[in-house]
């Protein structure tokens, strides 16, 4: 485009000179001044066109980024809907199984309640509502009760019945310039004892009540972000890091909390503090999330 404008200016100048030759004597200084003015005009036009090209390129990049973000949000929404439907189906199966087992247990209880006591023993002597157990039946029940108590206080093998709950997951790729309130989904679950962590939503749901320890690591390069850990959608802790030019650093946060069965725990970008740059995660350093049941 610049060449076309320059060619037009030269053509106009030649036409002007030819006109002067037909009439008056050519004034060289005047022609030179006009050539300089035309050159400055062309340069200004070139600067304007170049600036507009840069703005168009920036707008195209912005549109491409927004399209990718919209596509990711749409995919995440579909995934969450499918996961919710799967959970609803599983809950329905569990409810049906529980109803069947409860019915069997009730039938067995009624059957045992109608069973006659041993010969020579009054039926009322075998109930707690009429004086409790007597005679040899007291001794039969008393001895196993003491034995059970001793086994609970002094376990022979040192193994407890507490469930094992622990998980560890990390980001499979970088989070590109995450916005505020953005949930970090650690989509690679390497450990998930107790099946409490969901790698699709990034949320840990406690399978049992107790005291838990949670820790998360955030890696950044020439960036700055604050991350929060939430327990039942209430902020329980946070970590913050801002690093300068050519610096690659990780920051971690750890919390210990008492939670109930079914409580949810997850990590997100700070809800109000706007960060900058990317959250990194690759083979040389992972951004991760972990937790375990302490007691």
Domain positions in the chain are: 1-115, 162-293
If one counts every other C-beta atom within 10 angstroms of the C-beta of residue 196, the result is 21
The dihedral region occupied by 17, where left means phi > 0, alpha psi between -120 and 50, and beta the remainder, is alpha
The dihedral region occupied by 56, where left means phi > 0, alpha psi between -120 and 50, and beta the remainder, is alpha
> What's the pTM?
0.48
Cα–Cα distance measured from residue 173 to residue 184, given in angstroms and rounded to the nearest whole number: 11
Residue at token pair 């450990």: 191
Q: CATH assignment of 162-293, given 3.40.50.300, 3.40.50.9100, 3.30.420.40, 2.60.120.40?
A: 2.60.120.40
Q: What are the tokens at 287?
A: 């951004």
pLDDT digit string (tens) for the chain, length 295 residues? 556 666 666 666 666 555 555 545 567 888 888 888 888 999 999 899 988 999 899 899 999 999 998 988 988 888 899 899 999 999 989 988 888 777 766 666 656 655 555 554 444 444 444 444 444 444 444 444 444 544 444 445 555 577 899 999 999 999 999 999 999 999 999 999 999 999 999 999 999 999 999 999 999 999 999 999 999 999 999 999 999 888 899 999 999 999 999 999 999 999 999 999 999 999 999 999 999 999 9
């Amino acid at each position: 485009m610049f060449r076309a404008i320059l060619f037009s200016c030269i053509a106009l100048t030649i036409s002007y000179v030819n006109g002067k030759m037909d009439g008056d004597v050519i004034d060289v200084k005047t022609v030179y001044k006009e050539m300089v003015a035309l050159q400055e005009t062309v340069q200004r036009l070139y600067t304007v066109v170049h600036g507009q090209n840069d703005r168009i390129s920036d707008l195209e990049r912005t549109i491409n980024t927004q399209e990718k973000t919209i596509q990711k949000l749409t995919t995440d929404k579909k995934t969450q809907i499918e996961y919710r439907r799967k959970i609803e189906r599983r809950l329905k199966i569990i409810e049906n199984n529980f109803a069947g087992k409860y019915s069997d247990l009730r039938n067995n209880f009624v059957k045992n309640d109608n069973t006659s006591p041993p010969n020579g023993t009054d039926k009322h002597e075998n109930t707690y509502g009429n004086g409790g157990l007597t005679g040899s039946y007291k001794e039969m029940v008393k001895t196993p009760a003491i034995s059970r108590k001793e086994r609970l206080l002094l376990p022979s093998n040192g193994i407890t019945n507490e469930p094992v709950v622990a998980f560890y997951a990390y980001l499979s790729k970088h989070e590109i310039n995450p916005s505020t309130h953005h949930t970090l989904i650690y989509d690679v679950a390497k450990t998930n004892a107790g099946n409490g962590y969901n790698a699709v939503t990034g949320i840990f749901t406690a399978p049992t009540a107790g005291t838990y320890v949670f820790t998360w690591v955030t890696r950044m390069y020439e960036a700055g972000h604050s991350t929060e850990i939430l327990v039942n959608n209430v902020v329980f802790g946070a970590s913050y890091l801002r690093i300068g030019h050519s610096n690659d650093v990780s920051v971690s946060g750890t919390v210990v909390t008492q939670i109930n069965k079914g409580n949810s725990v997850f990590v997100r970008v700070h809800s109000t503090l706007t960060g900058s740059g990317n959250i990194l995660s690759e083979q040389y350093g992972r951004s991760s999330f972990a937790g375990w049941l302490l007691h």
